[in-house]
Amino acid sequence: MQDINKQVLSQNAAGMRLIVLMTLYNSANYPRLRTYIADSFHPSLLEEQPVSARLAMLKAQRRLAGKLRVRQVIAVDKYQVVVLMESEHDRVLALVDLMVEEEYPHLITRFSQSPMG
């Protein structure tokens, strides 16, 4: 992650959640990623898509796309970040939108990835 992007993301709760999520994803540390999803995603999101399904999706994405890196931070709000990510393989771009609750522990209330192009 480029220093300026990391600096911008590390200044709010949503950015910090994204940094940790992408660090675990990129390291392919699936046991820790499973725990992070279980502990950090809001229960309503886990009702829509359980931990096992989210983990399976991320594992498949990692296998196909490789690591993801921040190409550009598009928008930052106190509890939301929108980031353009680039895949290791084929340099595919995706827009990631992550939002957290205002109250501590700032559980993730929205996590979406939209491929571009």
Residue 14 sits in a domain whose CATH number is 3.10.450.280
Chain centroid to CA 4: 18
Q: Tally the domains of the chain.
A: 1
How many beta carbons lie within 10 A of that of residue 80, not counting itself? 17
Rounded to whole angstroms, how far apart are CA atoms 66 and 44? 29
- How are the residues of the chain apportioned to helix, strand and coil, as percentages rounded to the nearest 5? 45, 30, 25
Specify the pLDDT at position 117.
66
Rounded to whole angstroms, how far apart are CA atoms 56 and 59? 5
CB 71 within 8 A of CB 93: yes
Render each residue's pLDDT in the chain as its tens digit; 117 residues. Answer: 567 888 899 999 999 999 999 999 999 999 999 999 999 999 999 999 999 999 999 999 999 999 999 999 999 999 999 999 999 988 999 999 999 999 999 999 999 999 886
Domain that holds residue 91: 3-115
Specify the pLDDT at position 53.
98
Specify the pLDDT at position 57.
96
**Prediction pTM value:** 0.93
